[in-house]
Amino acid sequence: MNYFLFALRNLKRKGVRSWLTLLGICIGIAAVVSLISLGSGLQEAVLSQFGVGSTEVITVQASGGFMGPPGSEVVTPLTLDDVNAINGVSSVDFAYRENILTGQMEYNDILGIGYATTIPLDYIKEYYEINEVKIEYGRLLKKGDSRKILLGFNFYNGKTNGFERTILPGKQVLINDEIFNVIGILEKTGSFLYDSAVFMLESDMDSISDKGDNADIITVKVKNKDLMNRTKIDIEKLLRKRRDVKVGGEDFSVSTPESSLDQVNQILGAIQVFVIIIASISIVIGAVGIVNTMTTSVLERRKEIGIMKSVGARNSQIFSQFFIESGFLGFIGGGIGVLLGISLGYIGTGMINNFIGSDTLPIINFSLIFFSLFGSFLIGALAGIFPAMKAAKQNPVQALSS
């Protein structure tokens, strides 16, 4: 017996009611699919902000600052002495400081707020390698350059850089009222952190800020990737001793790419779980809707059940018919939900990309789609169990006379 054809005809017969019933499942599945694909896309977008090079380094920062970039408004900043001490750890290849300055930049008589980051004088080449810095226009900074800067790619286009004029190598800009020459524009990385930054040598930052010996970020390159975790532990021990803090009371953080990623994943994971729970409520409500619709359907089709029994339908066949019809309702709702969810995933990721300047796409996991469809059929079918049992148990004589 062609249960699916029968199911489809019956669903079409009650068009509006069927559509309203599957709406609950549709919304729930759309929410789940969009959030999971968005979440995966968001994870990719956030990870892209870390950059490829950062997977090979440990990052040390002082904690306690509430607002602004790393190192700002911390109680006990890291210093050059800490950098030197870390350089003494046996598994460390080298370590250098990076300072970040928030300030104003003026170009074409337009003021903008942004941030500048330093390139260490003693590790210029290593800095470019670690961060995979590549030049688009002009050249990279080198030792001996003075009052020269590199700009991230977002500064190039006059239509989008906020200064209404293209900035090219050779142009002059004012940073905190000091004149700087643009020596190069970097290649687009897709990371907001790099594409919107101003890069200058340490010596130039010292002349326009009061950072002194402070180190906003200490970047540590380990000798061997396998020593990453051990090095992290050694640096933590060292800094605890230097800063006289106990375990659990650290006023600094030592992050490996793995731990940074874990933190991001934890936050994203928690958000996803929360939203999936909310979406699941919608699915449960959708299932209740299916129970209601199928129960009504059984009552309305009593005579039909009686007819089928009179021509030889067994209870199991009647049960199967309603069970499959119910599952079909869930499946169609889930199918539409998947399409809607994928669309929402694309829209959401597009919005995230615009916000943080990344280029990622939502991750459409085909096993997610498969399980969503299978799950919706299952939810629908399970919701239809009691109505299907009720249908199967109908007394043929009473059903025929209804």
Binding mask 301-340 toward another protein (x if CB under 8 A, else -) reads --xx-xxxxxxxxxxxx-----------------------
With CB under 8 A as the contact rule, the residue among 1, 52, 273, 351 that binds another protein is 1
Structure tokens, 15: 């068009």
Cα 225 versus chain centre, distance: 26
Instruction: Give phi and psi for 98, each to the nearest 5.
Output: -125, 135
CB-nearer residue toward another protein: 8 or 363: 8
Structure tokens, 148: 């020269």
Structure tokens, 174: 């004012």
Structure tokens, 264: 């991001």
Least distance between another protein and beta carbon 297 (Å): 12
Give the count of residues interacting with another protein (CB under 8 A): 23
Least distance between another protein and beta carbon 266 (Å): 53
Could you tell me which stretch among 7-15, 80-88, 259-267, 361-369 binds another protein (CB under 8 A)? 7-15
With CB under 8 A as the contact rule, the residue among 4, 13, 52, 157 that binds another protein is 13
Instruction: Give phi and psi for 300, each to the nearest 5.
Output: -70, -25
CB-nearer residue toward another protein: 153 or 328: 328
Cα 233 versus chain centre, distance: 28
List the interface residues with another protein, window 170-199 (CB under 8 A).
none
CA pair distance 15, 33, nearest whole angstrom: 26
Instruction: Give phi and psi for 366, each to the nearest 5.
Output: -70, -25
222, containing H or E segment = strand 217-222
CB-nearer residue toward another protein: 227 or 307: 307
Give the residue from 144, 142, 157, 232 showing the smallest Cα distance to 195: 157
Least distance between another protein and beta carbon 6 (Å): 7
Residue 402 engages another protein in binding (rule: CB under 8 A): no
For 146, residues 6+ apart whose C-beta sits below 8 A from its C-beta are 201, 203, 204
CB-nearer residue toward another protein: 131 or 297: 297
List the interface residues with another protein, window 380-399 (CB under 8 A).
396-397
Residue 2 engages another protein in binding (rule: CB under 8 A): yes
Least distance between another protein and beta carbon 396 (Å): 5
Least distance between another protein and beta carbon 306 (Å): 8
Structure tokens, 67: 């607002």
CB-nearer residue toward another protein: 266 or 315: 315
CB 272 within 8 A of CB 362: no
Give contact residues for another protein (rule: CB under 8 A). Answer: 1-2, 6, 9-10, 13, 303-304, 306-317, 396-397, 400
